[in-house]
Amino acid sequence: MKTVETLLAVEDVTVEFDGFKAIDSLNFYVDKGGVRVLIGPNGAGKSTLCDTIIGRVRPRSGRILFRGEDITRLPEFRIVRKGICRKFQTPGVLQSLSVHDNLALAARKTRDWWHAFGRDLTKAERERMEDVLALIGLADKRDYLPSQISHGEKQWLEIGMVVATEAELLLLDEPTAGMSPQETSDTADLIRRLVGRHTVLVIDHDMSFVEQLDAPVSVLHMGALLKEGSIAEVRSDPEVAAVYLGRIEDAAAA
């Protein structure tokens, strides 16, 4: 029988801001391979958890393990080098660079920007970049500037930049924000195609998008884990429904 390997472990993590617990004694695990989805209403703590995993925010207590190694106190750049890369909610592509050059910068193994801009891509880096261009559907727009592509395409470009780093764990924070229904569906398909090459943690609150991913779901509410299971199990849970409808008190009284 195949043994499932835990890639990321968040253990008893608490994050506070001026006495407010954005994350409250959270235990959360991501298995190696496949897609895991973290959902919850606005203010549930999803992005704060993402910030904590990547080292942008420090927990008051608890620890984060990646491949069994404690990365809780590492600086953000070292966590990235360990193999975790994040896509933020708002596209952060470089506006003065073409689609091609944004991807090329991400694909380079040399992370020092003065070196990265000063040399050509290796054969392996060029091949990886071409694969990513095809994956995100922008091969025919490689010479376009970000201002010349749609919002959805900018989101795909940034997903492509994360993929091009060859990080083992990809954190995609609201990857379909501002997208049309068709772009959202295409993004779900793109993420499914990453399975086998990366482990993907998708942070979102759009249940229709999550349903298209057909992946295990964890529900966060007020910084704590409320429910885990399939999308069908999560959808049918009355407490989860109450949280999304803003009637948690009604569910508790029922």
Q: Is 181 part of a structural domain of the chain?
A: yes
Residue 139 domain flag: no
Q: Is residue 244 part of a domain?
A: yes
Domain that holds residue 249: 6-91+168-253
CB contact at 8 A, 169 and 84: yes
Share of the chain above pLDDT 70, in %: 89
pLDDT of residue 219: 94
CATH number at residue 231: 3.40.50.300
Q: Give a yes or no: residue 229 inside a domain.
A: yes
| pLDDT computed for residue 89 by the predictor | 66
Please state the pTM of the whole predicted model.
0.88
Helix segments in 83-237, DSSP class H = 99-107, 113-116, 123-135, 151-164, 181-192, 207-213, 231-236
Please give the average per-residue pLDDT across 160-173, as a whole number.
93
Is the residue at 218 inside a domain?
yes
Instruction: Report the range of poorest mean pLDDT among 77-86, 117-126, 162-171.
Output: 117-126
Distance of CA 237 to the CA centre of its chain: 25
**C-alpha of 159 from chain center:** 9
Q: Is residue 80 part of a domain?
A: yes
pLDDT at 123 over 80: yes
- Counting Cα atoms < 13 Å in the Cβ hemisphere of 140 gives 1
* Sole residue written with tokens 């001026």: 18
Minimum mean pLDDT among 3-17, 24-38, 58-72, 233-247: which range?
A: 233-247
- Whether 160 and 132 have beta carbons less than 8 Å apart is answered as yes
Q: Which of 113, 214, 212, 99 is nearest to 164 (CA)?
A: 99
Q: What is the 3-state secondary structure (H, E, C) of 158-190?
A: HHHHHHHCCCCEEEEECCCCCCCHHHHHHHHHH
Instruction: Render pLDDT for 24-58 as a digit per residue (tens, 0 to 9).
Output: 999 999 999 889 999 988 889 999 999 999 999 99
pLDDT over 50 (residue 79):
yes
Q: Is the residue at 175 inside a domain?
A: yes
Q: In this predicted structure, what is the pLDDT of residue 149?
A: 95
Number of domains in the chain: 1
Does 154 fall in a domain? no
